[in-house]
Amino acid sequence: MKAIKLDENIYWVGANIHTEDLFEGIWPIPHGVALNSYVVKGEKIALVELVKEWGNASQTLIRRLRSINLKLSDIDYLILNHLEPDHTGFTHLLKSINPDIEIVATEKGTALVDAFYGIKENVRAVKTGDTLDLGNGFVFKFVEIPNVHWPETMATYEMKSKILFSSDAFGSFGVHKGSIFEDETPQAYLPYWENEMLRYYANIVAMFSPMVLKAIDSLAGVDIKMIAPSHGLVWRGKPEVVINKYIRYANYNRDHAEPEICLIWGSMYGNTEVMVNAILKGIASEGVPVTVHRVPNEDVSFILADAYKSAGLVIGCPTYEYEMFPPMKYCLDLFKKKHLWYKKVLFFGSYGWSGGAQKDFDELSKSMKWDMLEPLTFRGHPTDEQFEKGVKLGTELAREVKKIPSKIKNEEYGMK
Ligand code: FEO
């Protein structure tokens, strides 16, 4: 198990893990996740980002360090860009093994070092513009990027190599497949990374999109040769590709989503289900790409990714005890939490007696900045006229979605 060289005296010492555990206790990671950690060897030695004891990650880190003749006790500085425990869980044990190690984080980060791990001694707070000289020409410069993903987050820029250790920014779910570098990744693997990166963004980062754009603005003048995030690929060939990808993602909840539709449905006895095909027929007549998901059968993590990128949403939901079908309500609660704003939306569904799902839906979606089409609700099984109406509404939604200008101008955000 070897360290992987990024540049002279700079190595990746992270771990690719597969686990049945849910990421953050919520999100499935069927393709695993990379916990990236890096070593910079100046006269002093720094570890940038850590791992948590998850899927053998800490042993993997120790073995990779050993491959470059380093032990945990040799590390002088531990740079914690972000305190979420997927990157810091091993801190307590590392400090026990190496009590002299100095931990570097933002001021808010140092409070969490204490809160999570009870460590107060030998902790240094840094702010934007502060530097740390490791010797042999290696100098870290710190840039606070609050709320990408937590308030204490910063990025660390190594000035000699021009490598940006970007924390969660530009990260992804998924393990590396044969190489940690994007420029060694075969074309055939790119759809895998696209999916895992979008799902990571929609699940973890979406709510913080304005801060992502702000962070990218604050890095606009920095000469970046390589981006080394805390998850996913290391962007060595063309770092601007992932920056532009993140700009695009950040704009999906600012009225610049893709001209696509995501249809999500749930059904108790098939009456809501039978309307799905009528609406799909209308959408198909306009040739608009569509993804279809059923709740509760599919995990909301995957639904979020498709819904987040799509300009149009169709919500098919029956009434359940005077309200929305509970799994749909959970799904839409997460849409609200993750700021899936500015969508063109069609709601439909069956009810038996008094109805109530639509009223519940109207209340829940009030603050979502959604542009609603006329809803289509029906008692029991839909009639032929209602099926026709479903086709018409599907067509109408698809036409609305086609009008949306999806392509944003990256240069608006200071990127080359
Ligand atoms: Fe990968 Fe927000 O921690």
- What are the residue boundaries of the structural domains of the chain, listed by start? 4-251, 258-402
User: 371 pairs with which residues across the strands?
Assistant: 344
Is the pLDDT reported for residue 237 higher than 90?
no
Q: 152 CB less than 6 Å from ligand 1? A: no
Question: 264: CA distance to ligand 1 center in Å?
Answer: 28
What is the pLDDT, as a whole number, of residue 413? 37
For residues 364 and 332, the answer to whether their CB atoms sit within 8 Å is yes
What is the pLDDT, as a whole number, of residue 404? 80
Question: 227: CA distance to ligand 1 center in Å?
Answer: 16
Atom of ligand 1 nearest to the CA of 171: 1
Question: 262: CA distance to ligand 1 center in Å?
Answer: 27
Residues 6 or more apart whose CB falls under 8 angstroms from that of 380 comprise 271, 350, 352
Atom of ligand 1 nearest to the CA of 153: 2
Which CATH class for the 258-402 domain?
A: alpha beta
Q: Please give the average per-residue pLDDT across 231-242, as a whole number.
A: 94
Mean pLDDT score of the chain, rounded to an integer? 95
- List, in sequence order, the alpha helices (H) in 252-367: 273-285, 300-309, 326-337, 357-364
What is the pLDDT, as a whole number, of residue 255? 81
Per residue in 22-65, pLDDT (tens digit) is 999 999 999 999 999 999 999 999 999 999 999 999 999 999 99
Q: 199 CB less than 6 Å from ligand 1? A: no
Is the pLDDT reported for residue 85 higher than 90?
yes
Pairing of strands 15-17, 33-35: antiparallel
Q: Please give the average per-residue pLDDT across 60-72, as a whole number.
A: 98
What is the pLDDT, as a whole number, of residue 399? 97
Question: 85: CA distance to ligand 1 center in Å?
Answer: 7
**E-strand spans in 23-114?**
33-35, 38-41, 45-48, 77-79, 102-106
Residue 376 CA to residue 54 CA, distance in Å, equals: 47
Percent above pLDDT 90 for the chain: 93
Question: 223: CA distance to ligand 1 center in Å?
Answer: 25
pLDDT band, very low/low/confident/very high, at 221 (cuts 50, 70, 90): confident
Task: Enter the CATH code of domain 4-251.
Answer: 3.60.15.10
For residues 298 and 330, the answer to whether their CB atoms sit within 8 Å is no
Q: 36 CB less than 6 Å from ligand 1? A: no
